[in-house]
Amino acid sequence: MQNMYYIGLDVHKRTISYCVKDGSGTIHAEGTIPATRFDLDRWRKTLPQPWTAAMEATVFTGWIYDHLRPHAAALKVAHPLMLRAIAAARKKNDRIDASKICDCLRCDFLPECYMALDGDSRAAAHAAVPQPAGPADGADEEQAGTAQGRLLPRTAGNESRYR
């Protein structure tokens, strides 16, 4: 029987921090990758097999979940309000957060939330609901692009959104 590898992902708009541990808690890899499909695929090919991963639920979790799900033994999403191990920590940074998510997954303490639909169904359900008119500065296009794993160029109109 092969050893399972556990991966904690701390997801942000432009980056994903990760921590890979085995069943005993030994760290095999940790770092940060850009939050794009291309970089996620390149990173995924370097992972030891088999692996299971967990990430905190954020605005950007959906496309990452849909992209990694076919390749993982299991993929879980943690409820952010119930993930007290991270919220209560005195020392917080992306690397530590990814490690704590990995430990919660490895020890079966992860407060999992339910991902109801696959990406196509989520997009169709979202499109079926009338959306209010948004701001004219292009914020809607920016949000849509980053939620799909694409990075948008920095321009004068969206410069403040990248700080």
pLDDT digits (tens, 9 = 90+) for 17-54: 999 999 999 999 999 999 999 999 999 999 999 999 99
Instruction: Give the pLDDT of residue 93.
Output: 85
133, 141, 145, 139: which is closest to 161 by C-alpha? 139
Is the model's pLDDT at 74 over the cut of 80?
Answer: yes
Among the listed residues 95, 94, 77, 97, the one whose alpha carbon sits nearest the alpha carbon of residue 85: 97
Beta strands (DSSP E) in 23-83 are: 27-34, 51-56, 74-78
Residues contacting 143, CB < 8 A, separation 6+: 59
What domains does the chain contain, in order, with CATH numbers? 5-113 (3.30.420.10)
The pLDDT confidence band at residue 153, using thresholds 50, 70 and 90, is low
- Pairwise CA distance, residues 58 & 28, whole Å: 26
Name the pTM for this structure.
Answer: 0.71
